[in-house]
Amino acid sequence: MKARTKKNLEDFFKRNNQLIPIKKEILEICEAITYCYENGGQVLICGNGGSSSDSDHIVGELMKGFLLQRPLGKTLRERFKSLYGEYGEDISKKLQGSLPAIGLNTQTALISAFNNDVDPDLTYAQQVMGYGKCGDIVIGISTSGNAINVYNALITGKVIGAKTIAFTGRDGGRISKISDYSFIAPEKETYLIQEYHLMVYHFVCMYVESELFDL
């Protein structure tokens, strides 16, 4: 673990000491996602309602710089310049290193077609079949832990050889029981669970970015 990451970790649990009893579970999620990216994987994320918005939010933190600028490496910068001159060089200075992540709630035409033609409970699972591969990560977010479409996506992820992560609350519900890793927010009210989810996935994104990028 980088010194910067370690300091971020210490600061996070100092600010949120109520999470210290489940520190191990949170770090397992961080390490699993870091390992996935180190080995060429991607992250697929799904949820409903507010958890759907959280899916988009996580994608945004992973696909562009979060706390770091993530400048492109020398080889890519030189290739932009050699192929497209000053224009390419200018582009290369603005683009950032990216961690591939897909929110499964965003494909409106696909979702509506599959909902109408097949089964709305399997819409996210169908996308896991299409996008996912062995070594990827599927994250399911459900405050109750019982959303059937999220559950089916996680099951499908396990079948194809992806690792699965549940963000939930209350007693963890069924999605925590089948996931490889789980963060179960220590609350029962939906909005309080969502506040914990935001706090923790921000930390997870910060951890992963810190480990995989230098600047």
Check whether domain 14-66+99-212 has CATH 1.10.760.10, yes or no:
no
Q: At what angle do helices 190-212 and 23-38 cross, to 10 degrees?
A: 50
* Mean pLDDT across the chain: 98
Q: Encode pLDDT of 11-27 as tens digits.
A: 999 999 999 999 999 99
pLDDT at residue 75 in the model: 98
Q: Encode pLDDT of 158-185 as tens digits.
A: 999 999 999 999 999 999 999 999 999 9
Whose CA is closest to 119, among 144, 156, 89, 82? 156
Q: Taking the model in full, what pTM does it have? A: 0.96
What residue ranges do the domains of the chain occupy? 14-66+99-212
